[in-house]
Amino acid sequence: MNSQTLDINNQQIWCETMGDSENPACLLIAGAGAHAHFWGDTFCTLLVDAGYFVIRYDHRDVALSSTTDFEKNPYDLIDLAKDAVGILDALNLKKAHLVGHSMGGYIAQLVAAEYPERLLSMTLIAAGPAGGSGNLFVAPLKPERDQMKTTWEVLMGNQPTDSFEESIDGYMKVWHYLNGEVALDQERARAYTQEFYTRSKQPVGPHKAHMDVMQRAASSMKDRLDLFSKIKAPTLIIQGEVDYLIFPSNGGDALARAMPQATYKKIAKMGHLFFSQELEKELASLVTSFWHSSC
């Protein structure tokens, strides 16, 4: 592993690379508030072993990347997409496979639409469409609406303090819930959480800037009606069947309707997260098989 801080778009972006830089590259884009190590070592090592050069990074305002004054200098998904392209530029990579999770999936779609020449392929995990109109969606069913209320209660029930030991139980309840019906790898989840305290310049707690970014993205969705017509890269969509944050109806199912040419895989028992070695192995196998067959 090699870590470095890159000067991108007037931001200092921390990234880590693994594998042979002569191999095809894959850029892993994490979700809102998630640091680079959301992408676990097991998942990354499997990609490296399959013959890929792997890059994972901290978004601006996350972990070791730049801290911004969001109120004075707000940014949006397009800016985060430019950060992703800037990483490729800084590492002298002409093209890469993009793998985006949650907010990272929305960022990947914008990169694919606005910088199509930079993609080898795109994988979207636990994400919905970044553009389009109402016909891409279906109204949530009552069970989903009820689950949304429960999800909000679980998320808001976590009130972390500046003490890791005081806060870890609250975080673990959230990770258990968002991991779906798959057994949570508690050691991995704990280590991921601890880095909010030990490998970060940012305050602990809800990521207000990224929450605002996603709210703005939702309100501007109809302004990007032509987004999917621009996306030419081979695309793999992965959706957990028990994702209580991005429901299949407005996530993977909606993406599949927007991109009928894409490959769509639903994963039984998988939630929004995949803090599980078995799930990481399954996802790595799906992704690398897709790359081998489509590119």
CB of 271 within 8 A of CB of 179? Answer: yes
For residue 41, what pLDDT is reported? 97
For residue 137, what pLDDT is reported? 62
CB of 14 within 8 A of CB of 5? Answer: yes
pLDDT digits (tens, 9 = 90+) for 176-228: 999 999 999 999 999 999 999 999 999 998 899 999 998 888 777 766 768 99
pLDDT digits (tens, 9 = 90+) for 148-172: 899 999 999 999 999 999 999 999 9
For residue 295, what pLDDT is reported? 77
**Closest CA relative to residue 26, chosen from 58, 55, 6, 57:** 55
For residue 215, what pLDDT is reported? 85
Q: H helices within the chain, ranges in order? A: 41-49, 77-90, 103-114, 142-156, 164-178, 186-198, 208-219, 227-230, 252-258, 277-294
For residue 216, what pLDDT is reported? 81
For residue 146, what pLDDT is reported? 85
Q: Are strands 119-125 and 235-240 parallel, antiparallel or unpaired?
A: parallel
Structural domain of 24? 2-294
Instruction: Write out the two tokens for 89.
Output: 């530029």
Sites in the chain below the pLDDT cut of 70 = 133-139, 222-223, 225
pTM assigned to the model: 0.96
For residue 132, what pLDDT is reported? 74
For residue 206, what pLDDT is reported? 85
**CATH number (domain holding residue 19):** 3.40.50.1820
For residue 44, what pLDDT is reported? 98
Cα dist from 47 to 59, 100, 110, 293, whole Å:
21, 15, 24, 15
Domain count for the chain: 1
Which region holds residue 126: left if phi is over 0, alpha if psi is between -120 and 50, else beta? left
**Closest CA relative to residue 155, chosen from 127, 140, 177, 179:** 177
**SS3 state of residue 55:** strand
